[in-house]
Amino acid sequence: MGKSYLAKCQVSMEYLLIVALTFVIIVPTTYLFYNYSRESSQEIVDAQITNLGRSVVDSSETIFYSGKGSKTLLDLNVPDSIDSVIIIDGKELVFNITTTFGVSEIVFFSSVNITTISSNCELNVCKIPKLSRSGLQKVKIEAINKDSVSIEVI
């Protein structure tokens, strides 16, 4: 009866060691996978915003050099993390975004003056509030005079 009891204890102890070893492997692996997927999703959002900003600035420059009255319509897919979009001094298109690391800005520089038609401009800062809404947005870019290009979300 003593040997049978010791054999049962040894089997139980081996079982507990196997379970503990399994947890030692699974928990760190799960943590690493979670962090990797979180960083990957942030990189995807950054790439989307970079594509979005470059599209707007490149189209603005093309329309400006095409002359007054030229316009185009862009279909842009806006990600969720954009808090606001502003134009500073007519040359900088700034996306304020919220990330897992905090709030940051992604800035795109234009060689032409960009503005908005709406009255959302104060002290050389123009807001484009509709561009911060997530989802598919239609953006009209139009050369309004010989000095600047207008960006408007329809």
For residue range 88-111, list pLDDT tens digits in order.
Answer: 999 999 999 988 778 899 999 999
Q: How confident is the model at residue 2 (pLDDT cuts 50, 70, 90)?
A: low
Q: What whole-number distance in Å separates Cα of residue 37 and Cα of residue 45? A: 12
The tokens for 117 are 């038609």
User: Which of 57, 62, 72 minimizes the C-alpha distance to 128?
Assistant: 57
Q: What is the DSSP letter of 110?
A: -
pLDDT band, residue 72 (cuts 50/70/90): very high
Q: pLDDT category, 122, cuts 50, 70, 90? A: confident
Q: What is the mean pLDDT of residues 47-54?
A: 94
Specify the residue for token string 């081996």.
14
For residue range 11-38, list pLDDT tens digits in order. Answer: 888 999 999 999 999 999 999 998 888 7
- What's the whole-model pTM score? 0.75
- When computed from its CA atoms, the radius of gyration of the chain, rounded to whole angstroms, is 27
What is the share, in percent, of the chain residues with pLDDT greater than 70? 97
